[in-house]
């Protein structure tokens, strides 16, 4: 079994007072594909390197299976890491690169060749085994790096932004291949990315970090539909959730301009206990253009073929704000048009300090 477990794991770099990773508690199941995501500097790569043994752990522990590997050298952790820059040996062929770790382990030549051939078959690299890395495309090089990890049959795959050097089209194709490969191999995988679209489409679960602190870990669908706090709400989703500051004075139900915000009974109950200012969150697909509603003016139309995104300027509490609205593709709405908006789906309500109401 190759579960991974962080128990209160903390990393504080010398010369700093704020931990890069702070009291991380996280359980990753055997065979799970878990994605660590967050903005630059949030601690996701540090957390991965702590698991790999490349960063010292100042407090807490890290387990692989039932082994406490906190002080175990990287080479003894039975992990395989795939880096952003591929880290291939330029003077070696693809076959030699893929089999290098096995050679270092003293695996016989025939067995080594057999394992390399099998990995090449899985990754569709058989015709490239005699080539040097310089003669491969970026996507092929990344598959070679994956092959080098696969042949070792590790307990855990660690991947640090492995697709970030690929162009947009190849990144989409490769992430699909990678997701399918992980499912077929069934190896526990911890994957780091700053791209939340990548995280949402690849991970069985996604762990969101901010300033070294775990904010929420859950299935992608749950992160999207039920973000635990204001940071997760704003980070997960593309385009981002509309977040509207609502000054309440002495209380009362929230509204956007004259448009009342529908809330669940649980949120309404919490509103009775909280008289401070709020932040209302609405996904673009939960706003609709209607004949009567909140008046606004279209300032940008983003045509994406199957859908369009309208940026609509509305008046709210004596100032202008822009809301993003998802509309059907090939819309006849143009920049400068006057429209009316209605809320057509669930809303999310947070306190000014980011706490979700209604939980």
Q: Are residues 90 and 211 in the same domain?
A: yes
The reported pTM is: 0.90
Q: Are residues 226 and 244 in the same domain?
A: no
Q: b or e along 101-115 (b: 16 or more beta carbons within 10 Å of the residue's beta carbon)?
A: bbeeeebeeeebeeb
* Among 331, 353, 170, residue whose Cα is nearest residue 277: 353
**In CATH, what number is assigned to the domain containing residue 141?**
3.40.50.300
Residue 47 belongs to some domain of the structure: yes
Q: Write out the DSSP string of 214-240.
A: EEEEE-HHHHHHS-SBHHHHHHSSSSP
What is the dihedral sign for C-alpha 198, 201, 202, 204? positive
Q: Are residues 137 and 217 in the same domain?
A: yes
Residue 358 belongs to some domain of the structure: no
Q: Are residues 268 and 284 in the same domain?
A: yes
Residue 292 belongs to some domain of the structure: yes
Tell me the two tokens of residue 356: 């979700």
The tens digit of pLDDT for each residue in 137-178 reads 888 888 898 888 888 889 999 999 888 877 888 888 888 888
In the block, tokens 């030549």 appear at 109
Q: Are residues 206 and 275 in the same domain?
A: no
The tens digit of pLDDT for each residue in 197-245 reads 899 999 999 999 999 999 999 999 999 999 999 999 999 998 999 999 9
- Give Dmax (Cα) for the chain: 78
Peptide bond into 239 cis (omega under 30): yes
The C-alpha atoms of residue 292 and residue 100 are separated, in whole angstroms, by: 67
Which of 231, 266, 285 is the endpoint of a domain?
Answer: 231
Q: Are residues 253 and 105 in the same domain?
A: no
Q: Are residues 268 and 192 in the same domain?
A: no
**In CATH, what number is assigned to the domain containing residue 296?**
2.40.50.140
Read off the pLDDT of each residue in 185-204 and give the average, rounded to a whole number. 93
> What pLDDT is recorded for position 143?
86
In the block, tokens 């490769």 appear at 174
> What pLDDT is recorded for position 173?
84
Q: What beta strand segments (E) does the chain contain?
A: 4-11, 21-28, 33-37, 59-64, 67-68, 79-82, 156-160, 188-193, 205-210, 213-218, 242-246, 255-256, 259-260, 278-282, 287-290, 294-303, 307-316, 319-328, 338-343, 348-351
Residues with Cβ < 8 Å from 168, sequence gap 6 or more? Answer: none
Q: Write out the DSSP string of 90-111.
A: TTS-HHHHHHHHHHHTT--HHH
Parallel, antiparallel or unpaired: strands 213-218 and 67-68: unpaired
Q: Are residues 292 and 333 in the same domain?
A: yes
The tens digit of pLDDT for each residue in 248-299 reads 865 678 999 999 999 999 999 999 888 789 999 999 999 999 999 999 999 9
Q: Above 60 in pLDDT, residue 1?
A: no
Q: Are residues 18 and 149 in the same domain?
A: yes
Residue 323 belongs to some domain of the structure: yes
Q: Above 90 in pLDDT, residue 122?
A: no
The tens digit of pLDDT for each residue in 10-56 reads 999 999 999 999 999 999 999 999 999 999 999 999 999 999 999 99
The C-alpha atoms of residue 345 and residue 264 are separated, in whole angstroms, by: 11
Q: What are phi and psi of 132, to 5 degrees?
A: -90, 155
> What pLDDT is recorded for position 293?
94
Whether the Cβ atoms of residue 23 and residue 3 lie closer than 8 Å to each other: no
Split into its structural domains, the chain has a count of 2
> What pLDDT is recorded for position 160?
92
What is the domain range of residue 71?
A: 4-231
324 vs 112, higher pLDDT = 324
């Amino acid at each position: 079994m190759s579960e991974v477990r962080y128990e209160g794991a903390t990393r504080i770099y010398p010369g700093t007072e704020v931990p890069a990773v702070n009291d991380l508690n996280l359980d990753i199941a055997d065979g799970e594909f878990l994605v660590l995501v967050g903005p630059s500097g949030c601690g996701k790569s540090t957390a991965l390197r702590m698991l790999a043994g490349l960063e010292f752990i100042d407090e807490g522990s890290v387990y692989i299976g039932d082994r406490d590997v906190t002080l175990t050298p990287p080479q003894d952790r039975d992990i395989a890491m795939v880096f952003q820059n591929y880290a291939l040996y330029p003077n070696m062929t693809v076959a030699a690169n893929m089999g290098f770790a096995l050679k270092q382990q003293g695996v016989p030549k025939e067995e080594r060749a057999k394992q390399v051939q099998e990995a090449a078959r899985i990754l569709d690299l058989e015709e490239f085994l005699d080539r040097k890395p310089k003669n491969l495309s970026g996507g092929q090089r990344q598959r070679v790096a994956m092959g080098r990890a696969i042949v070792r049959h590790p307990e855990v795959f660690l991947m640090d932004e492995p697709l970030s050097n690929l162009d947009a089209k190849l990144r989409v194709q490769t992430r699909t291949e990678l997701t399918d490969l992980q499912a077929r191999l069934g190896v526990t995988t911890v994957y780091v990315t700053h791209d939340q679209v990548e995280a949402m489409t690849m991970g069985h679960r996604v762990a969101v970090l901010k300033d070294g602190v775990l904010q929420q870990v859950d299935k992608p669908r749950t992160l999207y539909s039920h973000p635990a706090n204001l940071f997760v709400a704003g980070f997960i989703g593309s385009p981002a959730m509309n977040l509207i500051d609502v000054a309440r004075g002495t209380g009362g139900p929230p509204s956007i301009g004259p448009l009342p915000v529908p809330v669940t009974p649980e949120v309404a109950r919490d509103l009775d206990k909280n008289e401070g200012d709020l932040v209302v969150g609405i996904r673009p697909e939960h706003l609709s253009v209607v004949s009567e509603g909140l008046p606004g003016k279209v300032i940008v139309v983003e045509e994406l073929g199957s859908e369009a995104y309208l940026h609509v300027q509305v008046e709210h509490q004596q100032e202008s704000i822009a809301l993003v609205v998802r509309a059907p593709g090939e819309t006849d709405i143009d920049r400068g048009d006057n429209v009316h908006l209605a809320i057509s789906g669930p809303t999310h309500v947070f306190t000014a300090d980011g706490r979700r109401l209604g939980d």
